[in-house]
Amino acid sequence: MHLNSYAYVIDISQLANDHHRADPYVLFYCGDDADAKAIVAQLIRDSGFAGIDTGKLTQVIHQEPDGKFYNKLITQDQARLQF
């Protein structure tokens, strides 16, 4: 099983102070195992964030340094407008 999520290099205090917002921040994730992705999606929701599944593990490039989702601290509403 291979999965990628929580790959953020941001000020953790911001996440700690802003979790469970009315318009939650988004955490992107991708992977090839549907069962594992369901677990990660639930963990993200339980953490107070909104998860966006970006597809198969081949899409992980977008979550790595210089990728379009890397270190993007955006809200769910902002994500809907951009993606």
Residue 37 — very low, low, confident or very high, per pLDDT cuts 50/70/90?
A: very high
**Is the pLDDT assigned to residue 1 strictly greater than 50?**
no
pLDDT confidence of residue 11: 61
Within 13 Å, how many C-alpha atoms sit on residue 30's CB side?
Answer: 14
**Is the pLDDT assigned to residue 38 strictly greater than 90?**
yes
Structural element, H or E, at residue 46: helix 34-46
* Phi-psi region at 82: left, alpha or beta (left = phi > 0; alpha = psi -120 to 50): alpha
pLDDT confidence of residue 56: 93
Task: State how far the Cα of 31 lies from the Cα of 4, in Å rounded to an integer.
Answer: 6
Task: State how far the Cα of 73 lies from the Cα of 66, in Å rounded to an integer.
Answer: 14
Structural domains in the chain, sorted by start: 3-82 (3.40.50.720)
